[in-house]
Amino acid sequence: MVKKKRAKRDTYLYSLKDGNRIVYIGQSQNPPEREQEHRSSEKKFTKMDVRPIPMSEKTALKREEEWIESYKSSHGGKPPKYNKD
């Protein structure tokens, strides 16, 4: 029996918020570094919320898309301010 190698779980989902409003949804293997990149950009936000459970990059990409779609379904079809549609 050959064991299948498990994907590395090193990617986190996060959101950028301006007050209580989500302005960006993303995923990163290094959230603190990614936060600094966002702060150096034109994005205006007050905090970054990182979901604490790491997952594979493939799973994180899928969950990011699902989260954005969920956001859009409750915001008239519009994505968060800084996510491109």
Apex 24 CA angle, 37 and 20, nearest 5: 115
Average pLDDT over residues 65-70: 98
Domain ranges (residues) in the chain: 12-73
Q: What is the pLDDT of residues 2-55, one digit of tens each?
A: 777 788 999 999 999 999 999 999 999 999 999 999 999 999 999 999 999 999
pLDDT of residue 34: 98
Q: Alpha helix (H) ranges present in the chain?
A: 31-40, 57-73
